[in-house]
């Protein structure tokens, strides 16, 4: 009985004890003394955590993942050096101004903390897309299409008739299409920024096809699916998805959870889970 | 045992219920708790891919981005607090501002206002709602410190400022019109009456009382207050105001609001000093002035920064050459 009472009391005492804030080693370290006022590391840390700690935490954790999974091969370093040279040449005398504007101390800082992480992330996203290619294309259904937009419905029917008669799509686009849709071939998927009536047409096409005149009530479209076999488009799809922030986020979410990302500071955790719940597997 | 249970069944039932409640309470309170972690005596903020990042390492990362901003915020506050004493005037003004902010947050956020207000205060280095009063007291103390410095340096600062910015105190009479290019019959009648009164020798003050439609300052004798070349007035009004000498009244000036009579009440520094906008304009005219005020005050108080690199960084952040 006594043991039971002691256990219960201990349990009650320990309620909430897991929710601590991670503290720096020397919070009382005095950085500056003015008159009788001390400014300590702890104060500075507390303010910085309130400023934008979640994005810093995410970036720091991302870099750990990038270093572990992608690393820094000679090839990647060479590519980074090339990009720096190219950037330096393109901005000329304005280099310092650009670096300052983007928050870099110097060119080396930009190389190490700008270019290399970007290339590493691109490699990581491509790795993720390649590994999960079948599942991703099954969900996003990418394909090659060409699109014409014609405001007048009668003219649109004429254009469609010409296409069905065998006229070249580019020619018809040049003759009739608005400048928004020059009829060029482009890789799209079911989340592309296109009119819904266009997406609804091509989303489930599995072979090359030509639509009828599609209308959203305001204007008209003709859509040609030029290639729907994702195996034939694998390289383009990987390149295209790698530039899409949706897939960048999916990649990081996956690797964060896979690598057991855990936050031990309760206030930071509460802030982080609000902004990036998927990174915690929530 | 069974017999005891049978006899004392009610007590046993109460005990079981109490135990269940305690167990559930402990579970409920702990189910969302995070585990804490410490390695080598250092608190860990997060871990990923078998890598622990300590609070010290996280501090370094945050400091590389936000460190100087945070240090300067506390530095400036410390200088202000050490330089200016509390006063009833400051406390009262701060209370008014505090109550105003709370009212605004309540209106915008409803019952959640405290959470948002505390979040906003945290970005200023405070931690609780009561700190809002302290924040506004700091704001007024800072203003007082800056004004005192400017007063002490006025003989040096004012001539150059005056030459460049043409500071003055201005009043006006306004006959309002919705469209001055196509006034209504009523507007025309009002304007004609005002013109006639002026031509008949009515004083500027009486013109304000009898003919001005600017309800924002009619009770203040038409006073607009501090004006200089950077004041955001419509161009026609500003040009006319800047062209006048002390005591001079303009001809009728047409703007999008109607017709104005403009008077420069004073060009004298003693009168300008009655307007906070004058001190604000003086500070704004020299981007380095505020930082120099803070640093000179800090030196007066005996600032101690043991880390030379930190001192260099702070001065660079403030734009002060050592």
A178 lies in the same domain as A59? no
Structure tokens at A281: 């597997």
Residue B289's H or E segment, with its range, is: helix B289-301
Whether B58 is covered by a domain: the verdict is: yes
For chain A, say whether B47 makes contact (Cβ under 8 Å): yes
What is the per-residue pLDDT for B285?
Answer: 94
Quote the strand ranges of chain B, DSSP E: 38-39, 42-48, 51-54, 168-176, 223-227, 253-255, 258-266
For chain B, say whether A1 makes contact (Cβ under 8 Å): no
Judged by CB atoms closer than 8 Å, whether chains meet at B61 and A61 is answered as no
What is the per-residue pLDDT for B234?
Answer: 96
Distances (CA, A) of B227 to B245, B258, B281: 13, 20, 10
Q: Which residue has the higher pLDDT, A197 or B4?
A: A197
DSSP B34: P
Whether B45 is covered by a domain: the verdict is: no
Residue with tokens 């729907």: A228
Please list, in sequence order, all residues whose beta carbon lies within 8 angstroms of the beta carbon of residue B45, skipping any fewer than 6 positions away. A22, A57, A263, A264, A265, A268, B53, B54, B55, B57, B58
A124 has a pLDDT exceeding 60: yes
A208 has a pLDDT exceeding 90: yes
Using the 3D structure, point to which of B108, B124, B157 is the last residue of a domain.
Answer: B157
Split into its structural domains, chain A has a count of 2
A205 lies in the same domain as A130? no
B176 lies in the same domain as B82? no
Ramachandran bin of B244, using left for φ above 0, alpha for ψ from -120 to 50, beta for the remaining angles? beta
For chain B, say whether A49 makes contact (Cβ under 8 Å): yes
Cite the DSSP H helix spans in A192-244. Answer: 196-202, 234-242
A7 has a pLDDT exceeding 80: no
Whether A27 is covered by a domain: the verdict is: no
Cα atoms in the 13 Å half-sphere on the side-chain side of A138: 4
Judged by CB atoms closer than 8 Å, whether chains meet at A15 and B26 is answered as yes
A136 lies in the same domain as A83? yes
CA distance A145 to A227: 7
B178 lies in the same domain as B147? no
A136 lies in the same domain as A113? yes
Quick one: closest CA in B to A53, which residue? B62
Domain range enclosing B130: 54-157
A182 lies in the same domain as A202? yes
A137 lies in the same domain as A246? yes
Please list, in sequence order, all residues whose beta carbon lies within 8 angstroms of the beta carbon of residue A210, skipping any fewer than 6 positions away. A160, A163, A164, A222, A223, A224, A225
Residue B139: Cβ within 10 Å count: 15
Average pLDDT of chain A, as a whole number: 92
B267 lies in the same domain as B172? yes
A8 has a pLDDT exceeding 80: no
What is the per-residue pLDDT for B32?
Answer: 61
A180 lies in the same domain as A246? no
Structure tokens at A138: 């099954």
Structure tokens at A103: 């928050």
Average pLDDT on A275-279 reads: 94
CA distance A137 to A6: 59
Spatial strand order of the sheet with B223-227 comes to B223-227, B168-176, B258-266, B253-255
Query: Considering the entire predicted model, what is its pTM?
Result: 0.78
Average pLDDT on A39-46 reads: 95
CA distance A121 to A67: 10
What is the per-residue pLDDT for B212?
Answer: 93
Q: What is the pLDDT of residues B273-308, one digit of tens each?
A: 999 999 999 999 999 999 999 999 999 999 999 899
Q: Which of B74, B303, B307 sits opposite A43 (nearest CB)?
A: B74
What is the per-residue pLDDT for A2?
Answer: 64
Structure tokens at B75: 């530095």
Average pLDDT on A121-132 reads: 94
Residue A262: Cβ within 10 Å count: 16
Whether A117 is covered by a domain: the verdict is: yes
Judged by CB atoms closer than 8 Å, whether chains meet at B36 and A31 is answered as no
Q: What is the DSSP track for B154-214? A: HHHHHHHHHHHH--EEEEEEEEE-S-TTS--HHHHHHHHHHHHHHHTT--HHHHHHHH---
Mutation for B interface: A48, A268, A272, most B CBs within 10 A:
A48
Using the CB atoms, write b or e for B183-208: b if 16+ within 10 Å.
beeebeebbeebeebbeeebebeebb
Chain B residues in contact with A36 by the CB 8 A cut-off are 82
A80 lies in the same domain as A125? yes
Whether B285 is covered by a domain: the verdict is: no
B233 has a pLDDT exceeding 80: yes
A159 exposed, middle or buried (CB, 10 Å; 0-12, 13-18, 19+)?
A: buried
B245 has a pLDDT exceeding 90: yes
B152 lies in the same domain as B170? no
Whether B97 is covered by a domain: the verdict is: yes
Average pLDDT of chain B, as a whole number: 93
CATH of the domain at B259: 3.10.50.40
Whether A280 is covered by a domain: the verdict is: no
Residues 5 to 44 of A: which have CB under 8 A from any B CB?
8, 11-12, 14-20, 22-25, 31-39, 41, 43-44
A63 lies in the same domain as A166? no
Residue B29's pLDDT band (cuts 50, 70, 90): low
Distances (CA, A) of A152 to A106, A158, A160: 55, 10, 12
Chain A residues in contact with B22 by the CB 8 A cut-off are 8, 11-12
Q: What is the pLDDT of residues A163-200, one digit of tens each?
A: 999 999 999 999 999 989 999 999 999 999 999 999 99
What is the per-residue pLDDT for B201?
Answer: 94
Whether B29 is covered by a domain: the verdict is: no
Whether A72 is covered by a domain: the verdict is: yes
What is the per-residue pLDDT for B270?
Answer: 97
A67 lies in the same domain as A106? yes
A73-87, A214-228, B2-16: least confidently modelled range: B2-16
What is the per-residue pLDDT for B11?
Answer: 86
Average pLDDT on B166-188 reads: 96
Mutation for A interface: B11, B55, B120, B294, most A CBs within 10 A:
B55
Judged by CB atoms closer than 8 Å, whether chains meet at A261 and B47 is answered as yes
Q: Which residue has the higher pLDDT, A17 or B157?
A: B157
Average pLDDT on A206-217 reads: 96
Q: What is the pLDDT of residues B60-109, one digit of tens each?
A: 999 998 999 999 999 999 999 999 999 999 999 999 999 999 999 999 99
CA distance A123 to A137: 19
Residue A111's pLDDT band (cuts 50, 70, 90): very high
Contact A268, A57 (CB under 8 A): yes
Using the CB atoms, write b or e for B276-291: b if 16+ within 10 Å.
eebbebbbebeeebbb
Structure tokens at B45: 């903020």
Query: How far does the CA of residue B106 sit from the closest CA of chain A (Å)?
Result: 22
Please list, in sequence order, all residues whose beta carbon lies within 8 angstroms of the beta carbon of residue B257, skipping any fewer than 6 positions away. B174, B176, B177, B180, B234
Residues 258 to 317 of B: which have CB under 8 A from any A CB?
298, 301-305, 307, 310, 314
Whether A199 is covered by a domain: the verdict is: yes
Residue with tokens 């006048």: B244
Whether B27 is covered by a domain: the verdict is: no
B170 lies in the same domain as B266? yes
A160 has a pLDDT exceeding 90: yes
CA distance B162 to B156: 11
CATH of the domain at A176: 3.10.50.40
Judged by CB atoms closer than 8 Å, whether chains meet at A32 and B63 is answered as no
Contact B262, B237 (CB under 8 A): yes
A-B C-beta contacts closer than 8 Å? 182
Judged by CB atoms closer than 8 Å, whether chains meet at B49 and A260 is answered as yes
Q: Which of B29, B37, B55 sits opposite A15 (nearest CB)?
A: B29
Whether A125 is covered by a domain: the verdict is: yes
Domain range enclosing A209: 143-229
What is the per-residue pLDDT for A1?
Answer: 63
B150 lies in the same domain as B90? yes
Split into its structural domains, chain B has a count of 2
For chain B, say whether A117 makes contact (Cβ under 8 Å): no
B270 lies in the same domain as B184? yes
Whether B151 is covered by a domain: the verdict is: yes
Residues 55 to 114 of A: which have CB under 8 A from any B CB?
56-57, 60-61, 64-65, 68
Whether B321 is covered by a domain: the verdict is: no
Whether A260 is covered by a domain: the verdict is: no
B7 exposed, middle or buried (CB, 10 Å; 0-12, 13-18, 19+)?
A: exposed
A217 lies in the same domain as A85? no
Distances (CA, A) of B307 to B56, B75, B304: 18, 15, 9
Average pLDDT on B14-40 reads: 79
A58 lies in the same domain as A163? no
Chain A residues in contact with B25 by the CB 8 A cut-off are 12, 15
What is the per-residue pLDDT for B4?
Answer: 74
Q: What is the pLDDT of residues B313-322, one digit of tens each?
A: 999 999 998 7
What is the per-residue pLDDT for B80?
Answer: 96
Contact A138, A231 (CB under 8 A): no
Quick one: closest CA in B to A43, which residue? B125
B170 lies in the same domain as B153? no
Whether A14 is covered by a domain: the verdict is: no
For chain B, say whether A280 makes contact (Cβ under 8 Å): no
Please list, in sequence order, all residues whose beta carbon lies within 8 angstroms of the beta carbon of residue B143, skipping any fewer than 6 positions away. B276, B279
């Amino acid at each position: 009985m006594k043991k039971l009472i002691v256990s219960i009391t201990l349990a009650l005492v320990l309620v909430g004890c897991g929710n601590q804030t991670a503290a720096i080693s020397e919070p009382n370290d005095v950085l500056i003394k003015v008159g009788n006022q001390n400014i300590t590391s702890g104060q500075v840390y507390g303010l910085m955590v309130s400023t934008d700690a979640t994005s810093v935490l995410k970036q720091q954790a991302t870099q750990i993942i990038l270093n572990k999974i992608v690393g820094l091969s000679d090839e990647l370093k060479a590519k980074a050096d090339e990009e720096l040279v190219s950037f330096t040449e393109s901005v000329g005398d304005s280099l310092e101004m650009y670096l300052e504007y983007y928050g870099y101390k110097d060119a080396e800082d930009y190389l190490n903390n700008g270019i290399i992480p970007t290339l590493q992330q691109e490699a990581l996203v491509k790795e993720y897309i390649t590994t999960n290619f079948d599942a991703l294309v099954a969900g996003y259904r990418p394909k090659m299409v060409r699109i014409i937009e014609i405001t007048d419905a009668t003219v649109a029917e004429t254009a469609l008739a010409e296409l069905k008669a065998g006229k070249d799509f580019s020619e018809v686009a040049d003759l009739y299409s608005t400048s928004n849709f020059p009829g060029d071939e482009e890789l799209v998927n079911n989340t592309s920024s296109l009119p819904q009536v266009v997406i609804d047409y091509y989303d489930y096409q599995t072979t090359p096809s030509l639509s009828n005149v599609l209308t959203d009530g305001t204007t008209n479209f003709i859509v040609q699916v030029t290639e729907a076999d994702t195996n034939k488009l694998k390289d383009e799809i990987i390149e295209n998805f790698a530039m899409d922030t949706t897939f960048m986020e999916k990649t990081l979410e996956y690797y964060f959870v896979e690598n057991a990302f855990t936050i031990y500071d309760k206030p930071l955790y509460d802030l982080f889970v609000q902004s990036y719940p998927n990174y915690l597997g929530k | 045992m069974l017999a005891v249970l049978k006899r004392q069944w009610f007590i046993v039932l109460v005990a079981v219920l109490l135990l269940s409640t305690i167990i559930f309470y402990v579970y409920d309170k702990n189910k969302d708790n995070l585990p804490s972690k410490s390695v080598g005596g250092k608190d860990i903020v997060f871990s990923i891919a078998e890598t622990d990042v300590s609070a010290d390492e996280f501090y370094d990362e945050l400091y590389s981005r936000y460190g100087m901003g945070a240090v300067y915020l506390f530095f400036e506050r410390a200088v202000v607090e050490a330089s200016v004493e509390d006063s009833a005037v400051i406390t009262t003004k701060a209370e008014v501002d505090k109550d105003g902010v709370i009212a605004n947050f309540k209106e915008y956020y409803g019952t959640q206002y405290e959470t948002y207000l505390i979040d906003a205060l945290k970005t200023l280095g405070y931690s609780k709602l009561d700190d809002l009063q302290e924040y506004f007291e700091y704001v007024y103390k800072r203003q007082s410190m800056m004004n005192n410095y400017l007063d002490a340096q006025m003989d040096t600062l004012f001539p150059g400022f005056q030459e460049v910015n043409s500071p003055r105190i201005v009043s006006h009479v306004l006959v309002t019109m919705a469209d001055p290019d196509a006034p209504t019959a009523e507007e025309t009648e009002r304007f004609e009456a005002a013109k006639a009164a002026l031509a008949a020798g009515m004083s500027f003050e009486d013109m304000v009382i009898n003919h001005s439609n600017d309800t924002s300052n009619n009770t203040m004798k038409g006073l607009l207050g501090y004006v200089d070349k950077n004041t955001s007035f419509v161009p026609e009004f500003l040009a006319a105001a800047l062209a006048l000498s002390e005591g001079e009244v303009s001809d009728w000036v047409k703007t999008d609001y109607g017709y104005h009579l403009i008077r420069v009440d004073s060009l004298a520094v003693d009168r300008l000093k009655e307007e906070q906008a004058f001190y604000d304009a003086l500070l704004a005219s020299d981007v380095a002035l505020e930082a120099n005020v803070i640093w000179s005050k800090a030196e007066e108080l005996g600032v101690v920064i043991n880390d030379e690199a930190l001192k260099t960084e702070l001065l660079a952040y403030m734009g002060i050459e050592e």
